[in-house]
Amino acid sequence: MGTIVSLRLAEAATALGDTARAEAAQLVETVFRRWHEQFSLYRADSELSRVARGELRLTDASASLRNCYALALDWRDRTQGVFTPHRADKVIDLSGVVKALAIAEAGGALRLSGLTNWSINAGGDVLVGGVPGDRYDETEPADHATPTGHRGTAPAAVSVHAEWVVAIVDPDDRGDVMARVPLRHPLRAVATSGSAERGEHIWTERNEPSPFRQVSVFAADIVTADVLATAIVAGGAETLADITARFAIDVLAVLRDGQLLATPGLRQAD
C-alpha cells in the first residue's frame, strides 16, 4: 500500500509474551498483504488491475471485489457524489476504501484472537481498541516516516492517563505537532487527507485545488473517517458543512492560509 503499518499492543509484557506479540503482528500483516495483493493498481497481477485493463469483467470479479465496489458506490451516494471510486480516466480505483477496510479487518482479527488493547496506524490513519494502560509514551512525528519518503499525518497513538491519544502534525512543518486529540468512545478512529504528503492528488468538481491543506476526521469507525476526510478535501467548505451536519464526527481542517477549523467536540477536548 506504499506506507508503513504499525501495531501497538498495550497489554503488559508479563501478560503477553514475545510469541503472542509476534503472532499478533503476523496476523495484521497477513490481512494487509491480502488486501494489497487483490486491490493494488500498482501490481499488474492484482485482481483490480485485471479489471482496469479489461481482462476481467467486473461482473465476473470476486464477490469481495464487487462488494468493495458497491461500498464505494454507496459512499458516493452518501456524499452527494463528492467521493467517487472512479478516476478521471474512468478506471475503478478503490484505494479510497481499501486501506480503511484492511485496518478494520485487522482490528476485528485482533479482537477475535483475544487482544483488546491495541492501536493500528496505517500511514497516519489510526484505529484503537480498549485502553493503552497508565503509562505515558510520546514519539516525535519524525520517527514515523513511511516508505518512499512519505510521513504519516498522525503519528502512532500515544498513551496518556489510560486513554489513546493521536498527534496531528502541522502540514507545513512535518516536525511539529499542532494538536493532540484523545480517541474517546465513540470516536475511536481518525483519518487524515490532503496535499501535504502526496501533493495535489484530490481535486474539486471544478478541477481546482482544494481550499483545505489537510483534513482530519474523527469517527466511530475507520472507513467513515477515511471516506469523509477525502470527501471534505474534494468538496471544500460546502461539503464540510453538509457532512458535519449529517454525520456524528469531529473534524480538524487546515485551510491553505494556515487557518484552523475545528468542530465543537474538538474545541472542547482536553
pLDDT tens readout for residues 183-222? 999 999 999 998 655 554 555 455 678 899 999 999 999 9
Residue 100, class by beta-carbon neighbours within 10 Å (0-12 exposed, 13-18 middle, 19+ buried)? Answer: buried
Asked if the model's pLDDT at residue 149 lies above 50, the reply is: no
Asked if the model's pLDDT at residue 110 lies above 80, the reply is: yes
The answer, as to whether pTM is greater than 0.85, is: yes
Q: Return the domain boundaries, the chain.
A: 5-267
- How big is the chain, counted in residues? 270
> For residue 194, what pLDDT is reported?
84
Higher pLDDT, 246 or 197: 246
Name the band, by pLDDT with cuts 50, 70 and 90, for residue 88.
Answer: confident
Compute the distance between CA of residue 154 and CA of residue 141 in angstroms, rounded to an integer: 8
CATH superfamily name and code, 5-267? ApbE-like domains (3.10.520.10)
Name the band, by pLDDT with cuts 50, 70 and 90, for residue 145.
Answer: very low
CA distances from 194 to 35, 65, 199, 226, 258 (A): 23, 26, 8, 11, 13
Higher pLDDT, 146 or 165: 165
> For residue 267, what pLDDT is reported?
76
Name the band, by pLDDT with cuts 50, 70 and 90, for residue 232.
Answer: very high
Residue by residue, what is the 3-state secondary structure of the chain? CCCCEEEEECCCCCCCCHHHHHHHHHHHHHHHHHHHHHHCCCCCCCHHHHHHCCCCCHHHCCHHHHHHHHHHHHHHHHCCCCCCCECCCCCECCHHHHHHHHHHHHHHHHHHCCCCCEEEEECCEEEEECCCCCCCCCCCHHHHECHHHCECCCCCCEEECCEEEEEEEECCEEEEEEEEEECCCCCCEEEEEECCCCCCCCECCCCCECCEEEEEEEECCHHHHHHHHHHHHHHHHHHHHHHHHHCCCEEEEEECCCCEEECHHHHCCC
- Mean pLDDT, all residues of the chain: 86
Q: Calculate mean pLDDT across residues 5-26.
A: 85
